[in-house]
Amino acid sequence: MEAIEKLRAKCLERGASGIRGLARVFRRLDANRSGTLDADELHRGLEEMGLALEPQEIEQICQRWDRHGDGTLDLEEFLRALRPPMSQARKDIIAAAFAKLDRSGDGVVTVGDLRGIYSGRDHPKVTAAEFLDYYSGVSASVDTDEEFVAMMTSAWQL
């Protein structure tokens, strides 16, 4: 089993808080707010969460997610990689919810699309990719496609 898959499985054993809890620990360890972690920070974060991996597995993860060859891994990209893949049913229901928000149909949710529904003052635009990324995180904590589709259908009145 690849190290990232082993770590994902360990996180998912903890339920909905597994990956989110790890994300909180990693963000706290990123003291300089660079958005990256080095091997030592990764190791400390995993130990703190009780998700110990073998040193060679930590090295494998660092090498795989070190995009710039500087000995660090991109935190957000790494956390996205930890999320389990989503089924097409989940992606489809997320797309339907996004389409409901995107009243103009241009692929971007703007303040105009949300006027009267939401104050977009601090977040003036939401793209379909950002919407999918958000719900990918939510998806990680829902066991079955049926439950996920029901949750999305209810939340977005689809």
Does one domain contain both 15 and 63?
Answer: yes
Does one domain contain both 106 and 67?
Answer: no
pTM strictly above 0.75: no
Does one domain contain both 48 and 102?
Answer: no
Distance between CA atoms of residues 88 and 150, nearest Å: 15
Does one domain contain both 107 and 151?
Answer: yes
As a whole number, mean pLDDT of residues 34-57 equals 85
Distance between CA atoms of residues 101 and 135, nearest Å: 14
As a whole number, mean pLDDT of residues 105-132 equals 78
Q: What is the pLDDT of residue 16?
A: 60
- Number of C-beta neighbours around residue 70 at 10 A: 9
Please tell me which residue, 156 or 125, carries the higher pLDDT value: 156
Does one domain contain both 77 and 8?
Answer: yes
Does one domain contain both 71 and 22?
Answer: yes
Domain boundary pick from 48, 63, 82: 82
Structural domain count of the chain: 2
Any residues with CB less than 8 A from the CB of 36 and at least 6 apart, and which?
30, 72, 73, 74, 75
Does one domain contain both 125 and 57?
Answer: no
Any residues with CB less than 8 A from the CB of 35 and at least 6 apart, and which?
74, 75, 76
- The share of the chain scoring above pLDDT 90, in percent, equals 11
Please tell me which residue, 124 or 142, carries the higher pLDDT value: 142
Domain boundary pick from 28, 48, 82: 82
Q: What is the pLDDT of residue 29?
A: 84
Q: What is the pLDDT of residue 45?
A: 86
Provide the residue range defining the domain that includes 75: 3-82
Does one domain contain both 25 and 76?
Answer: yes
Domain boundary pick from 82, 114, 145: 82
pLDDT above 80: residue 15: no
What tokens does 80 get?
A: 């996205």
